[in-house]
Amino acid sequence: MDSITHIAIGALIGDALMGKTLGKRALILGAAFQSIPDIDFICSFFLSPTENLLAHRGLTHSFMFGVFITLILAWFIKRWQRSPDLDIKKWMWFIGIEVFVHLLLDSLNAYGVGWFEPFSNKRFSFHVIFVADPLYSIWLGIACLGMLLVYKNYEKRKRFVFLGLVVSSLYLCVCLVNKAIINKRIESTFSSKGIEWKRYFATPTAFNNMLWYCVVEMDSSFYIGYSSIWDASPEISFSQFDQQRYLIENTSDDKEIENLIQFSNGYFTVERLEGEALLFNDLRFGRIAGWQNQPSGFSFHYYLKNPDKNLLVIQRGRYAEWNVTTMKSLAIRMMGN
């Protein structure tokens, strides 16, 4: 989830849990505690691009880190504040809820989180909501604004907190229903043709939860398509992409490639560019405006053996080629075909 959303939901949870005791400090502390796992951004200053991909949402998003930071901060704050109204258990409850809500929310996006680091490098990503979905975040923002406007009135403040947390949570429930619909369409599309698949996933396209990007893995290729929950036909049209793993077979001991394969959870293709250059595509982040049914690259593309081209590797393709026409085409495709 994006940082602003984490700050907003952290402030609301802070006021709900500790607003009566701490006053406005509950908002500030809630936003701060909710943001703690994202301190992994510091790693970007010291690690290579592929190492940083694994470090982000890795150890600092693990259950072990969540428990550790909760205990340490609760002990430190209690010793520093020495307030008779707040014992260490209340601080642990407050900090723990904020941190673990962060870990849960980030697992709902495509990037994935390392819940069991450092004991397992498995990433958990449930592909329920796009990393920045306005229809999720707007209720949290409205609630925060309203809460600040009526802050001296505790009863009115509670209503805004309730509104923000409940309505945004209901929206997540809608997202889960939408995902179930799309998953069923993927399975029925291939089952009706008697085609067996290895595994698949569906993840929302940018800024919405109506149009979904679908990837199905076969033995040596992937089928990629788009489906809106408003499509007239439940059958999804797919395009085939060969994985071309053989292009990197002789580089199995290359740490850069090893990191990329681990990060992609095996959902990748490799392309040969001009000469001997290779391009690694992580399929989980979609194609650049791929819903327009025209040839386009993948949002996440990594130039192997050319690290200077890989700055901002996640962000550079996510919104590439976006303009008024692109936004209009997305809105039209969201409404179904």
Mean pLDDT lowest among 25-39, 100-114, 307-321: 307-321
Please report how many Cα atoms fall inside a 13 Å half-sphere around the Cα of residue 313, on the Cβ side. Answer: 26
**b/e per residue 155-169 (b: at least 16 CB within 10 A):** eebbebbebbbebbe
The pLDDT value given to residue 4: 95
Beta strands in the chain (DSSP E): 199-204, 211-217, 221-228, 238-242, 268-272, 278-287, 298-303
Mean pLDDT lowest among 35-49, 250-264, 316-330: 316-330
Average pLDDT over residues 152-171: 94
Mean pLDDT lowest among 171-185, 193-207, 276-290: 276-290
Q: What proportion of the chain, given as a percentage, has pLDDT over 70?
A: 95
The pLDDT value given to residue 253: 65
Average pLDDT over residues 4-12: 97
Q: Would you call 201 helix, strand, or coil by DSSP?
A: strand
Beta strands in 137-277 (DSSP E): 199-204, 211-217, 221-228, 238-242, 268-272
Q: Is the pLDDT of residue 230 over 70?
A: yes
Q: Is the pLDDT of residue 78 over 90?
A: no
pLDDT digits (tens, 9 = 90+) for 207-224: 999 999 999 999 999 999
Q: Is the pLDDT of residue 312 over 80?
A: no
Q: Is the pLDDT of residue 154 over 70?
A: yes
Q: Is the pLDDT of residue 318 over 70?
A: no
Average pLDDT over residues 181-196: 96
Mean pLDDT lowest among 33-42, 261-270, 276-285: 276-285
| AA identity, residue 90 | K
Q: Distance between CA atoms of 133 and 143, rounded to whole angstroms?
A: 16
Between 175 and 292, the more confident residue is: 175
Q: Is the pLDDT of residue 157 over 80?
A: yes
pLDDT digits (tens, 9 = 90+) for 39-54: 999 988 888 888 999 9
